[in-house]
Structure 1
């Protein structure tokens, strides 16, 4: 069983299917008696845009935003990260991309080496749960598989993730209550296995 899970949630609408996924994930974490925290980027009014001051301190890895410092503490204490977000324009929502840019800083998440970066974080597992208008097979085989290849395999493994996994609910506009309910049940099973 994981010691600590941090859920990073990036969707602005509480009536969305992404929010239903968040509720299913946290319900399963509670059922497993797992210690967890949720970082809700929109509810926190997280600013994903670098300020001039922040960017001037980028190379030193110093965080200016107090929210960034708080997020770093949560991530540093985590064994598992679970990301929940919609796939917009075949990639991450801007708020989540800004979260990665501003939180995964040099000297916190990684250190520079002669061959690139070396991860410094110690979370063992990372799960990304997404929704998309496109079918999952289309994202994987015709759109470059950016969530798996770039976000999970390069970015998150680059800062320390040992194992990563991606689950997508595709064709969301054509879905119905039954397919959504089935997916939410599967998510609970996947989270239980992850722990």
Structure 2
């Protein structure tokens, strides 16, 4: 199934177990905030602003299908930028701690203002580069357009255990990046994106570097 338009995306959201009036209200609030902020800084492209429910909201929310509620906290979102998928995950799963890592000052300010405005007390903004983030273990790790797969793993494998679920929307490069990945023991595979017939999401778990003793 590919979500072809905004109406299809909204219908799909209403079918989610996480859906509620509070989710609807917060996503509508995020839409208004994003439209206003996009006049000040280029958070998302103008074309995607007209297709938020498909391009950003559903593209983020589809990751939840791979992370059961009981195993999804804490959640680490690397290079959150405009807030996808981190903000959407925090809205849909208010019981889940979501840590959004972002180093750019204007994006940091944006993310914090959204959290404050929407009352997302479960969402935390880590205002730093990934390299500076204190090591701790997370149950889920996501990264959207953050870095090529080898670099991403080099930077963030220390936050993972063998049970951590990795969720990496990679667009059209997903299969090629996974095919070319060397030096890691992993159980990654590519899932078809719900928002783009040509895009994939790398999903799975990471055991560690090849040749490294436990």
TM-score, normalised on structure 1?
0.29
TM-score, normalised on structure 2?
0.27
Select the structure with the greater relative contact order (CA < 8 A; seq sep ≥ 6). Answer: 1
